[in-house]
Amino acid sequence: MPDGEVQSSATVAADRAPWEAAQVSLAARLEAILYLKGKPLSLGDLASLAGEERDAVELALITLMADYAHRDTALEIRQEGNHYSLQLRDSLAGLVQSLLPVDLSTAALRTLATIALRKRILQSDLVDLRGSGAYDHIKELLAQNFIERRRQSDGRSFWISPSEKFHRTFAVRPDLEPGEAA
């Protein structure tokens, strides 16, 4: 843009990510990032993923941690060294084991949820969203027949989608759009 020229607010909004245009708080974006990544992330990683300055991310993270600490919720923001993650409270571990209908790790369940929400996703996109640990989750999910994987016809990646066993086990109709009631 030439010096002295001012961008219109519509142009600025169009250049932003969808969450920025919708004015989602930084704390909410950090919560979403921690949930989707499903692994501990450093402040630098969080700042990069959120597209924000490290100091702003640190302040929003402290606010988010305080919010979780004061709520009666099953989740918490856990700090391990210089990394942060969104985790189920340790006090609920017994409940989780008694309720899980399958023997899947929490990380694999999050990966499965991501696949189910998308209905069909490229393996490369899934790895971008969930991190390199997704390869192990995919193996685990394939071994238990919760997902199907088909080679992309015009590329090197695979299409991954929930299997019939997934739909039966979790009582989710394959024709439902995200957010619809069964």
Answer yes or no: are the C-beta atoms of 30 and 57 closer than 8 Å.
yes
What single-letter amino acid sits at 131? G
- Enter the tokens of residue 4: 């002295």
Rounded CA-CA distance 117/132 in Å is 19
**19-41 pLDDT, tens per residue?**
554 588 999 999 999 988 878 89
Rounded CA-CA distance 57/45 in Å is 10
On average, the pLDDT of the chain sits at 82
Q: b/e per residue, 63-94, with b = 16+ CB within 10 A?
A: ebbeebeeeeeeebbbeeeeebbbbeeeeeee
pLDDT for res 89: 84
Rounded CA-CA distance 75/82 in Å is 19
**3-22 pLDDT, tens per residue?**
444 444 344 444 555 555 45
pLDDT for res 106: 86
Domain architecture of the chain: domains with CATH: 9-91 (1.10.10.10), 100-169 (1.10.10.10)
pTM comes to 0.48
